[in-house]
Structure 1
Amino acid sequence: MAFQMHPANDTIAGLIVVCNNKTKDECFKKMVFGFNPREFPSGTAIVESVKKGAKLFLFQHEFKTLEGIYEATSDGYVDRRAFRGKYTVQIPFRFDKAYNIPLQESEFENAGISWPNYNFMSQRVVDHALSAAQVHRLSEVLRNKYNRQRQLPPPPPRI
């Protein structure tokens, strides 16, 4: 099941934000996901449809991993001065449930989430709006993986 973009007038239950290591570090310093409207033309309407409390997930395209769960701390908005005018479409966020174990591609595909194309250098595949059902499935897969990892026995002591 591929991601479906929601019309701009719909409230979005969640959003997958695509980043790389460099942009991830900057986002976490400022606690805001920023988008360049020139690279993501439909992003302004989509981000402005994100309301406070929406769940956010981060896809690192270099590793093809998905992490989360983050939560929008306010509605998405446009700030023309942000990031020196480059990433003006923004969603401030906080850590909701920081399952610090990212999902590999096969794991989030098992949740019914798949990508139609892997051409991240093109402008076509960037960020994806999620339905409430997709947010629930991704959250459940992340939570289950985290809980399984916590139940593993500790490694034997080194001698």
Structure 2
Amino acid sequence: MARNPEYSPQGEALGGYIFVCNNVTMPDCFRRRIFGLPARNRESVSEIRPGMPIFLYNFNTGLLYGIFEAVSFGGMNIDPLAWPDPNFPGRSAYPAQVRVRCRVIRPPLNDSIFRLIVGVPIRYRRRLSVTQALNLLDIYEYLHCYCVALAREVIAAAIALPDI
């Protein structure tokens, strides 16, 4: 049985949000600095507040991108020209929207890491509880620190190599 992506477990407060894109819509998300979902997500998107952590999942690649931050309240048709609906000219196919900015660039996470944190695949979760959002932010920071430390070790080892 599929879980409802609209609601956090036991009605917990919203701590973060995951928007979904594909290889076609992703460039527009970044260019417009706006993320959107179909109208059926309007209720949960309307709970988004400025400053809230936002993530973008590309279902073609299976990667979760972050860390973004909401700079507007979530709402409907913030940019009605984003992702035009072919059936309704002048309307967005993804009208449940929020404006974002990049808080910090981190390498993307794959779905299996997300599943360890939240317990379900990304496709079943859009809303993140406060605890889930904080855990996700911690994982991004941990992986960043690990990558930096590893890069420093590689550079130090390369510098220590004798000249041939």
TM class by smaller structure: 0.7 to 0.9
Shift of residue 25, structure 1, vs aligned partner: 0.5
* The structure with more strand, counted as a fraction of residues: 1
Q: What residue is the counterpart of 2:101 in the other structure?
A: 94
Structure 2: state its 5+ residue gaps.
83-89
Q: What residue is the counterpart of 1:64 in the other structure?
A: 62
Q: What residue is the counterpart of 2:27 in the other structure?
A: 25
Identity of aligned residues (%): 25
Q: What residue is the counterpart of 1:82 in the other structure?
A: 81
For the pair shown, the structure with the greater C-alpha radius of gyration is 2
- CA distance in 1 between counterparts of 2:13 and 2:118 reads 21
Match of 1:105 among 111, 114, 118: 111
- CA distance in 1 between counterparts of 2:104 and 2:49 reads 18
- CA distance in 1 between counterparts of 2:118 and 2:24 reads 29
Indicate conservation of the 8 Å contact 2:45/2:97, yes or no: yes
Letter of the 2:81 partner, please give it.
A
Flag the 1:60–1:156 CA change in 2: closer, same or farther, 3 A: farther
User: In angstroms, what is the RMSD of aligned CA positions?
Assistant: 2.8
Indicate conservation of the 8 Å contact 1:10/1:49, yes or no: no
Alignment of 1:128-143 (within 5 A): 128-143=126-141
- CA distance in 1 between counterparts of 2:120 and 2:102 reads 24
Structure 1: state its 5+ residue gaps.
119-124
**Deviation sequence 1:54-104 (CA, Å, 0-9, x none):** 1111111112121211110010111273323122221000011221x1112
Shift of residue 48, structure 1, vs aligned partner: 0.7
Aligned residue pairs, count: 143
Letter of the 1:108 partner, please give it.
F
Q: Secondary structure at the match of 1:90?
A: strand
TM-score for the superposition, normalised by structure 1: 0.77
Flag the 1:36–1:13 CA change in 2: closer, same or farther, 3 A: same
Indicate conservation of the 8 Å contact 1:35/1:89, yes or no: yes
**Deviation sequence 1:96-136 (CA, Å, 0-9, x none):** 1221x1112222223234228x6xxxxxx5x6101110001
Indicate conservation of the 8 Å contact 1:31/1:94, yes or no: yes
Letter of the 1:151 partner, please give it.
A
* The structure with more helix, counted as a fraction of residues: 2
- CA distance in 2 between counterparts of 1:129 and 1:49 reads 10
TM-score for the superposition, normalised by structure 2: 0.75
Letter of the 1:16 partner, please give it.
I
Indicate conservation of the 8 Å contact 2:13/2:130, yes or no: no
